[in-house]
Chain A
Amino acid sequence: MTTLAVAVSTLVLAAGCEENVSPVIPTERVFTVWGFLDPTVAEQKARVFRIEPVLEPTRPEPLGATMSVTDVSSGSVTVWRDSVILFPDGFYGHVYLANQDVEFDREYLVELETPQGLGSSARVRTPPRTSPVLTELQNVRFNVKFRVRWDNAPQLLDLKVRYHVAFRSRGSSGAFSSGAVTLRTGVIETGPDGTPTVLIEPTSDLGDILQMLNLQAGRDEMALDSITVLPFVGSEEWRSPTGDFDPEVLVQPGTLSNVDNGFGFFGSGFEDAYVVHLPEDAIENAGFTVR
């Protein structure tokens, strides 16, 4: 009994009465940044998070970070400014903004730094100017489709198609009303040489356009003026490892990231546009009215 008591007492003294444990192990990574440089707009923006040791409600205090974007070829540096945004879900977020002229096909260095000199950075090359070209038009009754090849584009993301139409109720002798309907439609294909191409099928989209304009097929008239193809041209590094953008996959830190000593993704891209005017017989074959 005595031996036992001594053994237990020794163990207790050796072990101490409380052991601290930290659920968070220190990391040298400092910032997480989400954004992109857009050479087609003046105002650039990026969402920045400080990598925190505790998951706390966000506060509207300054982030204490300096963000700068350097044009690597010219050496010109632009310092971005911090702004605090209150989102509808009640969280505050830091969005860094700058009026910076971003050139096509140019390399930039994005840097975030604390007053203590800790920082995260990313390098990005903006896409070159593109040269979209209509490469194919299939014009068959009730089966009209066409392809546009996007020469010089590293890749296309987030394709939208805007149909510019005019419409009126059948039997009405009044003027046509004009409108534009934007659909997330079309297919992005990649050619053997890596050049992206988009496939648009107006015949298939007709039903969605009628529905969005509250028109009825066979009763109302709808003329097609033009089609604007609006892909988002992304920089080379803006590639999801799975090919698509599933948040359940991409949420894992590091999965889609080009940020050194940090997390997140900073790319470059812009929304491009190419207007297609279909010939009258193609418009009719697609199911639209010819004015």
Chain B
Amino acid sequence: MLKLDKLTKVYKTGDKALSDVTLKIPGGQIIALIGPSGAGKSTLIRCINRLVEPTSGSVTLDGTEITTLGSGALRRMRRRMGMIFQEYALVERLTVMENVLSGRLGYVGFWRSFLRKFPQSDIDEAYRLLDRVGLLHMADKRADELSGGQRQRVGIARALIQDPALLLVDEPTASLDPKTSRQIMRLITELCAERGLAAIVNIHDVSLAQMFVQRVVALNLGHVIFDGGPADLTPEVLTDIYGEEDWEATIAKVEDEEEET
């Protein structure tokens, strides 16, 4: 169970990226976080694992308050939160296997990780995950040799090998073509269901969100302005979130696509 209570972030420039965001996400639930660019979506998920320090408010994961942790305890807490990035954020010059194993860095000491002497159980798990995401044959390739969709699969494996309770997913499909986007979203939602993970998925593509998640939260200017099921996203609601536009096409398209699949 992840709880955000009055989470607020004010940047040094005075921009208020989040104001009093209060959310509850039970274990196993996936939410899609939508909203226009600059609404604070990325800031919100970075405030949860404190890549960005929140200004005030609290974040609680399974009863542990994260915002007040010292650096050692924060590192142990970050192991419980896997993160997946828009541009994959793989270390390009390391191999696929090294990238996946880097998800275990929080569990092994410096010299073991430096010499790449990971425990056998970690290596077994890495192979299992690579097999699960369909990249077993790519294990020894360098990350920069992979295509966008393949890289994102490695990014997913890296997040999952942490054995997290929560996935923080930042625009996982923004750099991918429509078909790969769906495959990636399907993979993420399947894996979350298999492992009972909660997830926050930042996403631009409203129809894609409607296709794959049961709960949608919308941010605008740092405020939560919508929290409901995918079917509740009517043209009026989308106008509230993004501004005036003809939304019928977006929503109609979703329904067509759902019939196809």
A and B assemble together: no
